[in-house]
Structure 1
Amino acid sequence: MLAGTSAGCEAADPPPAAPPTAPALPPPAVTTTSPTPVSAGPQPRLFDHTAVAEGVRQVLTQNFGVTELGAVLCPPGQPVRAGHTFECLAQIGGEQRPVPITVKTDEGEYEVAAPG
């Protein structure tokens, strides 16, 4: 599991990547831990979209092997709620591509799927 980080959030460092022994296809999705949501209290908890974008950037480069990665933008106001889905946009090789995100737990664990 890969941990996303943001200000005000405690997260473990990602484990070191093992050298590949043979060519392999990237996984269809990678689960990562959420940065600390930006809201609390009676209102719904929301993801820090800037921190999620950084987590997506890490997954795309480290797990999916994306090398020509430009800006990664995730929409603000996404609730920390299991089952919720949304898309970030990543500039890959000069092309804007959607990156599907699925929230796995109410604690903020989310899955980053391969770019479309």
Structure 2
Amino acid sequence: MRAVVLLAIAALLVSGCDSEAPAPPVPTSHPVTATSAAGTTASLTPARRVFDPAHVQDGVWRVLTESYLITAVGEVSCPGGEDVVAGRIFECTVDIAGEKKKVTITVRDADGGYEVSQPEP
């Protein structure tokens, strides 16, 4: 009986060695998402970039006083929510010697560079 069991085990081992290698796993693809530590899923779409109006207002004031050498520049007011996108154009209002004037802001590049026009007459 022992011989029969040993022969059966030997036959199984030999037949296992002769069989073909298992098929490689089939590659799969899954959608990519990011999950925060809290477990919420977030999109991998880049966040919308907008200008900080306070920084643009400071920049406009500097350009008007330092580059255009305009004196009596008072309050500068720029809108919020303006996208940082090359070619985007928006206006800021500037108080110059008690008069409200408009300057045009033209966004030069996606890094946030912009040009400030001379005030409208």
Q: TM-score range by the shorter chain?
A: 0.5 to 0.7
Task: Tell me what 1:12 maps to.
Answer: none
Q: Secondary structure at the match of 1:50?
A: helix
Under a length normalisation based on structure 1, what TM-score does the superposition of the two structures give? 0.63
2:74 equivalent to 1:70: yes
Larger radius of gyration: 2
Q: Shift of the alpha carbon at 1:109?
A: 0.6
Q: Tell me by how many angstroms 1:42 deviates.
A: 3.2
Post-superposition, which runs of at least 4 consecutive aligned residues in structure 1 deviate over 2 A?
none
Q: Determine if the alignment matches structure 1 residue 53 to structure 2 residue 53.
A: no
Look up the match of 1:91.
Answer: 95
Check if 1:110 corresponds to 2:114: yes
Question: What is the aligned length?
Answer: 76
**Distance in 2 separating the partners of 1:83 and 1:89:** 20
RMSD of aligned Cα (Å):
1.1
Separation in structure 2 between the aligned mates of residue 103 and residue 91 of structure 1, nearest angstrom: 22
**Any gaps of 5 or more consecutive residues in structure 2?**
1-44
Between structures 1 and 2, the one with greater strand share: 1
Q: What is the distance in 1 between the residues matched to 2:53 and 2:101?
A: 17
Report the CA distance between 1:43 and its aligned residue. 3.4
Identical residues among aligned pairs (%): 45
Distance, in Å, in 1 between the alignment partners of 2:59 and 2:102 is: 15
Q: Deviations over 1:14-61 (max 9, x none)?
A: xxxxxxxxxxxxxxxxxxxxxxxxxxx733200011001000000000
Q: Distance in 2 between matches of 1:77 and 1:65?
A: 29
What is the CA–CA distance in structure 1 between the aligned matches of 2:99 and 2:47, rounded to whole Å?
Answer: 36
Give the gaps of 5 or more residues in structure 1.
1-40
Give the structure with the larger helix fraction.
2
